[in-house]
Each structure stands twice: as structure tokens, then as C-alpha cells.
A and B are shown apart, each in its own frame.
Chain A
Amino acid sequence: MKSMMQDHAEDALVRAAQKGSVQAFTELARLHQEKIYHAVFGLTRSHTDADDLTQETLMTAYRSLKRFRRKCSFYTWLYRIGINLTLNHLKRTKRERGNKLLDERIALGGAPRGEVSSPERDSLNRELQVKIRDALDALPLAYRAAFNLVVTEGMTHGQAGYILGCSENTVSWRIHKARKMLQASLRPYLEEERDEL
């Protein structure tokens, strides 16, 4: 019920923004900017790039509002713009692994959910997180994008396919390949972790 009301409110904002209301668009941007930022950051690993690309995504969306036909949610449409801009940016700069990572990485905090926290466990999980992140960065861009959208962002294969401009089946195969490559490169850590547990 709450979700339906939110959808309705968002739809009203989209209509107002399409009629030229900057205020309505700013409100829409406020609703989604953080999620867009995190999706972009997941691919670029650079705060500066993620910030710039999120701004660019919102500006592009504002310029293209007339072309939004409500075939999907506004959020998915925004995501599509953001991910495509990011992929283009990464292809252009050929900098899939952000060189600025070390300078800009902001510490990730908290113990993984549902686990008993202990200094050893925290350290182990943190190490595994870093390894996973590095292994993800080493994946081909198409696999990484599909994996991020489905696994990290929790999208369906259909939504990811719409955003990436490919079929659900292609998304399914890319994620399978990504998982296979990740588990191959992380196998010692995944097994080590399991043994220690």
C-alpha cells in the first residue's frame, strides 16, 4: 500500500517535471541520487567519478524527460542512463580499475549481517570483502555490470537486461560466468573461510 502511494507520488512528480517543473525534478533526483551514486561507484570505485557521473546522469535525465514513456519505472530508467554513462566513461578512459582507489576509498564499516562479531571474524570478513572487490574489478566490464546490478543492487534479470540493453538470457549467462570466474579466483579464501568456521 505504501509502495503504491510512493509510486503514485513519484508518477505525479515525473508528470510535473515533464511539464517543466525544476522543483519536481529536484525532488525526484533527491529520491534516487544515492542509489545511483552507489551503483556507479560499484563500477568505477572512484568517488570523484561516481559524483560526476551521478550529476551527469541526472542532467541527462532532465534533458531527456520528454522521451521517458513510462514503459518502466522512473528509477529503472534513471539507472539505465547512469549505467550506460558509466560504461561509456569506463570504455573511454580505459580505466576499469580506478587508479584513485587508494586515495579515495572510504573505509567500509560494520560486521557482515547475521554473524557474531569478533575481532578475528571481522578481520577475516574484511579481508574477504577486499578480495571479492579486487576480483570483481578484474572481471570483464560486461560481466561486472550484470553481476553488480543483480547481486549487489538486487535487480531481476529482466531489469538488468533492460538497463544493459540485452536479453534476460544474456544477463543470466554473464552472471553465471562472473560467478564462475569469481569463485575460481577466490576459491582459497572461500574454502579457508569455511574451514575456519
Chain B
Amino acid sequence: MSCKKFQKWLSDQIDGVLSPRKERILQAHLENCASCRDYSTRLSKLQAEAANPEGPRLSPEYWREFSRRLERKLSSVDKGKTHSAPVFLRWRWGFIVAGLVVLCALVVRFAFFRPQKPGDVYPLSHGETLARIDQEVSADPGLENLFDQAILDSIDEAVQGVRGIGPLEFGEDPLFLESLTDEEIKIFEAEIIKEMKS
């Protein structure tokens, strides 16, 4: 073990915090190490001198005046302020956090869970829109015929548009599947399954 370690132990020994086991090891080392013995002597001397209480000797009159000054200061302090801060100051961080939580909750509530009014049309809900149109159309037979006609016209338009580009493959014809019989559909299905297996 190096002398540096023993120097630390010497310091602890002076302060009375060295364990008995270390104390024995230290004594054994000191018997054989002149350098550490000298260090120990110097530390003891230093301790004796530094431990002397040092400072100005002040008269009792000074301390009486000191106490009077302190009493004047104490009496001028507002007791309400000295002993307890107002509740809102003592719990200010709690209040701030609680306020933020409530604010976040309100933002989430109104941004994502806004209550729907009866007249509102929710942009993402096509189902509801189509259901309403269907309801309106089926109530009036004339309107229903017009609506059916409009749908058929739009399908024709789509078919002709596609035909205008080039010859139609059977899969591109929107009415291809509609025109097949049940038997043809079964054959078609069997061919697809066979194709998928291969």
C-alpha cells in the first residue's frame, strides 16, 4: 500500500473516524516508515495550532448591542409574512400543473370528440350522406326514375370513355361481370382458383 493512502488514514485518525482494523495497519506502517512518521508529526502540530479558537474577542457590550439590533429587525418583520406564505404561493406549482392538465383535456375534448349537431355533415361519412339521399329519392317516384336514369347515364359515359381509348379487355368492361350467367361465373371462378394454385 502506498504512503498516499496512509496519509489519508492519518487525517481520518486525527478526526477519530478510522476503523480499528485500519488503525492497526497504520501503526504497523508508521513503525517502518520514517516519512509517514514525520508527516504524522507535522499534522499533529498543525492540528494543535489550527484547532485553537481564533477570532476577535468581542465585549459583552457588543453582544448586547447585537441583540438589540436583532430585536429591532425581528419586531419590524411582518409576522404574517415571516411564518407562512399565502396558500396560493405555497401551492403555486400544483396550481400551474393542474391548470395545464385541464387545458390539455379541453383541447383534446373539443378537437377530437366534438359533439355532432343534427344538421352537421361529417365529411368522412359517405354512408350517412348516401342513406339520406336514398331516403329522399325513394319518397318521390318521379325523382327515383330521374336518379336511376342519371346513374345509368353515368355508367354509359364511363363505358364509352373507356372504349374510346382502345379495344376493351374483358376485365375492363364494367358490365362484363353483369353480363355473365351463373354457369359462366362458376367456370370463371374455377379457372381463377386453378391459376392461383399454379
Minimal beta-carbon separation of A107 from chain B (angstroms): 9
A113 interfacial by beta-carbon distance below 8 Å: yes
**Residues A172 and B49 in contact, CB atoms below 8 Å apart:** no
How many B residues have CB within 8 A of the partner chain?
Answer: 39
Listed in ascending order, the chain B residues whose CB lies under 8 Å from chain A are 7-8, 11-12, 14-15, 17, 39, 41-43, 45-58, 63, 66-67, 69-71, 73-75, 77, 79, 82-84
| Chain B positions within 8 Å of A193 at CB level | 45
A150 and B17 alpha carbons, distance in the complex (Å): 12
Which residue of B has the minimal Cβ distance to A160? B15
Interface residues on A, range: 35 or more
With known contacts A29-B67, A179-B46, A186-B46, A129–B54 Cβ distance under 8 A: yes
Identify which of residues 55-111 in chain A touch chain B, using a CB-to-CB cut-off of 8 Å: 55, 58-59, 62-63, 65-66, 104-106, 108-109
Taking chain B's interface residues, is the majority helix, strand, or loop, or is none over half, making it mixed? Answer: helix
With known contacts A22-B71, A38-B55, A187–B63 Cβ distance under 8 A: no
With known contacts A108-B54, A136-B50, A175–B11 Cβ distance under 8 A: yes
Identify which of residues 175-197 in chain A touch chain B, using a CB-to-CB cut-off of 8 Å: 175-176, 179-180, 182-183, 186-187, 190-191, 193-194
| Chain A positions within 8 Å of B74 at CB level | 22, 25-26, 59, 62
With known contacts A179-B43, A180-B7, A182-B46, A106–B57 Cβ distance under 8 A: yes
Taking chain A's interface residues, is the majority helix, strand, or loop, or is none over half, making it mixed? Answer: helix
**Residues A183 and B39 in contact, CB atoms below 8 Å apart:** yes
- Select A106's contact among B17, B42, B56, B63, beta carbons within 8 Å: B56
**Residues A151 and B63 in contact, CB atoms below 8 Å apart:** no
Instruction: Please list 8 pairs of residues, one from A and one from B, whose beta carbons are closer than 8 Å in the complex, sorted by A's number.
Output: A55-B73, A62-B82, A106-B58, A112-B48, A125-B49, A132-B50, A152-B53, A179-B46
- Select B51's contact among A108, A128, A151, A182, beta carbons within 8 Å: A151
Which residue of A has the minimal Cβ distance to B62? A51
Counting from the closest, the 6 A-B pairs by CB-CB distance are A106-B56, A176-B11, A190-B42, A38-B55, A41-B55, A183-B42
